[in-house]
Chain A
Amino acid sequence: MIPHEKTLVERLKNKPFALIGVNTDKSKDEYRKKAAEMGVSWRSSWQGSTSGPWPLAWGVSSYPTIYVIDHKGVIRFEGLRGERLDAAVDQLLAEMEAGR
């Protein structure tokens, strides 16, 4: 997951795009260490556990749970990974550029 997301973030660094993580690791130090090792540059909300306030409030029960949201704030996809996730993001960026 991480290497793939890293590629996505680097490829789209000049685009109106944001990857936001909601991290559920227990130890903040462990997270920082691994994130540095793997080059996680994007913003991650800190939840401290899979029962943290955000996953609890949004009923997240499986991991990863991934939402793709367009520039108008509409949830457009859920559960995409890998190449299908890339394609979805590209599609939404294209829609945005086309002024739709």
Chain B
Amino acid sequence: MNTAALKPVWMLSALLLVPLQSPPAPSAPSGIAPAGAAQQPADPLDARYAEVQRDFNQAMAQWQKALDEARKAGVERKDWPLPPHPQFWERYAELARGGHLPASIWCLSAGSNLGEKRAPDASVIDLALARVWREALIHDQAQLAGTLDANSAAARYPVKEYLRLLRSQTMVLGGERTLALYEQCFEQSVQKPSKALALLSKASFIGTQESGFADPMPVVMEIYRELAEHYGDTESGQRAKGRLFRHERLQVGMQVPDYESEDVEGVRFKLSDYSGKVIVLDFWGFW
């Protein structure tokens, strides 16, 4: 088990440190709420979530200890103890079915820790994504209006984060459902960069085998054209433009386009400065 497998747990621990708050309901008549109480009461499932979380953290600590011992004893990797996530799936899933946000995140983040089966119940994943989508939509609308509360739950779930979680669940959801969710994200989000990112993410997904498209490239290019034309002022639009350019101008057999740039010493140079030579052009980094 690599350390990446532990990530969701630390993320959840971090979430627990933040008091759980629901976003203020704008439609609630102001007379009902007690003066000064801007936040809704905490989720009634919080107490049960805390219990599950306590048991889970304990199980994680035990597993970590067993894992360390196995490593020290030189046990082969294939015989290392497995993480406790599968035994906890049902308890978290029940809370996620009830719309509990951190439990929904747990279900979406458990990933490969659930073993070969991954998420055993696609309907829970669907519900959990819908729960996060609610926050992402609030985030998007509030950000556009300039009223995003940095302490709200929604503040942690921009559309970008929702799309990341959606991308991690495509195997469980299947191609058709995944596409429907990308489209929902595109149609319902309100900020231009969010819509553009939804389109770009959809195109990337269509380009994968999972999408089930027999001939995805024309569809992908159509989306890139749409992005380049109508969303050119967003980062996603710029990316789409680049991918289109690569497809149309940078194939083997084509004349290489010129490009001017600056080297590490600050000296400007053009690719065409090297014409007449054989060139290896290498996009790279040490990182």
- Where the two chains meet, the residues of A that have a C-beta atom closer than 8 Å to any C-beta of B are 1, 5, 8, 15-25, 28, 30-32, 34-35, 43-47, 50-51, 53-61, 63-71, 73-78, 85, 89, 92-93, 96
Contact = CB atoms under 8 A, between A and B. Distances in A.
20 contacts: A18-B278, A19-B279, A20-B279, A20-B280, A22-B261, A35-B286, A44-B264, A46-B261, A46-B262, A51-B235, A54-B259, A57-B259, A59-B250, A67-B279, A68-B280, A70-B278, A71-B277, A74-B253, A75-B250, A89-B280
B263 A43 contact: yes
A16 B276 contact: yes
Interface of B: 235, 238-239, 241-247, 250-256, 259, 261-264, 266, 269, 271-272, 274-287
Contact of A69 (B243, B263, B264, B278): B278
A1 B283 CA distance: 12
Given A18-B277, A66-B281, A93-B278, A25 B243 contact: no
Q: Which among A23, A57, A59 has the highest number of chain B CB atoms within 10 Å?
A: A59
B160 to A, nearest CB: 14
A16 B124 CA distance: 61
B263 A56 contact: no
B278 A60 contact: no
Contact of B279 (A32, A35, A69): A69
Contacts of A30: 286
Contact of B283 (A66, A68, A74): A66
A45 B262 contact: yes
A46 B263 contact: yes
Q: Which of A30, A45, A67 has the most CB of B within 10 A?
A: A45
B253 A75 contact: yes
A69 B282 contact: no
A17 B278 CA distance: 5
